[in-house]
Structure 1
Amino acid sequence: MRQNRSKAYRKLMAMYSTSFGFRQPYQVLVDSETCDTASSQKIDLLTRMESVLVGSVKMMITQCCIHELYLKGKSHQPAVDLAKSFERRKCNHKEAMPGDECIAAVVGETNKHRYVIATQSHPLRVGLRAIPGVPIVHINRSVMILEPASDTTLQFKHRAEQDALGPSTSEKAMLSAVAPPPEPVVKKKGPKGPNPLSVKKKARKHATQEVNTRVAAARVEKVHAGNKRKLHEAEDGGKVSAGAEPRPKRRRRNKTASRPVEV
């Protein structure tokens, strides 16, 4: 067997062991056609199966498959002898039935006994791919091939991994029995008041405006008073009115008097 194929088979069987509980020795259930093909091509079925499954195996066959070999005649006696060397798997069928139907009945819907199926029947392989966790082996031109995992098997594995990450069934029951915790009371926040600093600034601004208004009003009154006085002086012709007091004249300082006299 090539190295890459052996590595792929080892990885595949490790997946079956981890996800579906397969253990060594693997129970290999063989049909009549596989025994007939192995005897005609002189294939050591036990050795090849151990090489493909990468571990010890236990070869098994049902009574219905052996009866199917008997019906083929004496020319298939080597296949009958090979089948008799395997362990008998009780199928509990009172009357012999076709090998494909017998193996499908033994595997069931879940393959609870963890069988590896070695068959040459194409319809049986198609039906077994719909069952999760069923390794299938067939012979192709004297080469024994382990089929890759089917889509059903991969989906089952993915669901099992997701369930393993979450709580188990018993934990879910316990969580559902426990009453849910009370919801925390959320205090509603009302409208916020004004910032004290901003209020102070606004009051200071209003006070400044009032002071500025008063100063401006005083200046306007002063200007109006000066204009009125000038207007009265212009009407009197520069004379002082009778009721008004005369303005004192400013005395000019004599600059020459203050100088010392030269002799």
Structure 2
Amino acid sequence: MRQKRAKAYRKLMAMYSMNFGFRQPYQVLIDSEMCKTAHQGGMDLSNLLTTVLQGTVKLMITQCSIHELYLQGKPMQPVVDLAKSFDRRKCNHREVVPGDACLKDVIGETNKHRYVVATQSQSLRSSLRCVPAVPIVHVNRSVMILEPPSGATLKTKERSDEAALRPAEAELSKLSVSVKQAEIPRKKKKGPMGPNPLSVKKKKPAVTQIPRSEPTSTGSKRKREDEQDVADTLAGASQARSGHKRKRRRKTETKLSTGNDCA
């Protein structure tokens, strides 16, 4: 198998596993036509289906499909032996029905048991494409192919993705209750009205007065001594000024006396 095809099949089976709950080993329902094709081409269905589905497989067949091979006579005995090597899937049909109708009844409308169908019947493949989540495998020129997902499968996948993104009904009811509680306005409690804060004067900060210290005896003595010193300096300055003037007067007197003598 080519690498690109193997990668595409791996993604496809991962999608079936994530969205529809397929698990390994994958249960593969095989019809009588697929058994004939495998016998004629010498194919090993177990290995081929393992590589195509990218996982372990469990091959199954219904009793109605085996009975359909019995009706074709002895030439189909090797094909019957090949079909008997697979696990039996009970179809609960009391009377034998054709293989296509039997597989349709086993798959049902939703493929509840997560079957992969390997068939060569064109009519069966076209009818199973209308059922969501049914992987279909067929052989084309000795190459086993896994068909891409049908439209019904893609639609159910989109619905499941949208449902996963949306919250559940219980969560929606809780959200609606919380929104209603938030929308209800709360009533203010009436009480005594306080004064207008703009009209209230601010209190002036209290000024702390520093207590004056009483003069001590040493301080009074120092003040007296300072006053006495100031008085002494003032007296000395006044005496100095008065003595200087007297000297000037004496000089003038002597000048006058000398002038008078010359005269």
Q: Structures share a fold, TM > 0.5?
A: yes
**Counterpart-to-counterpart distance in 2, 1:123 and 1:60:** 20
Aligned length: 185
Identity of aligned residues (%): 63
Counterpart for residue 17 of structure 1: 17
Counterpart for residue 234 of structure 1: none
Map 1:131-146; keep pairs closer than 5 Å: 131-146=131-146
SS at match of 1:110: coil
**Match status 1:75 vs 2:46:** no
What RMSD, in angstroms, separates the aligned Cα atoms of the two structures? 1.7
The one-letter code sitting in structure 2 at the alignment partner of 1:146 is L
1:91/1:11 CA distance change after superposition, 3 Å: same
1:40/1:167 CA distance change after superposition, 3 Å: same
Please list every run of at least 4 consecutive aligned residues from structure 1 whose deviation after the TM superposition is greater than 6 angstroms: 176-179
Alignment deviations for residues 118-173 of structure 1 (CA, whole Å, 9 cap, x no partner):
01111111111111100000011111000000111111111111110111244346
Counterpart for residue 118 of structure 1: 118
Q: TM-score, normalised by structure 2?
A: 0.67
Map 1:170-189; keep pairs closer than 5 Å: 170-172=170-172, 180-181=180-181, 183=183
**Counterpart-to-counterpart distance in 2, 1:132 and 1:143:** 25
Q: Unaligned 5+ residue runs, structure 1?
A: 186-263
**Match status 1:96 vs 2:96:** yes
SS at match of 1:120: coil
The one-letter code sitting in structure 1 at the alignment partner of 2:57 is V
1:175/1:74 CA distance change after superposition, 3 Å: farther
SS at match of 1:94: coil
SS at match of 1:132: coil
Counterpart for residue 52 of structure 2: 52
Counterpart for residue 2 of structure 1: 2
**Counterpart-to-counterpart distance in 2, 1:28 and 1:109:** 17
Question: CA shift at 1:183, angstroms?
Answer: 3.7
Map 1:1-263; keep pairs closer than 5 Å: 1-172=1-172, 180-181=180-181, 183=183
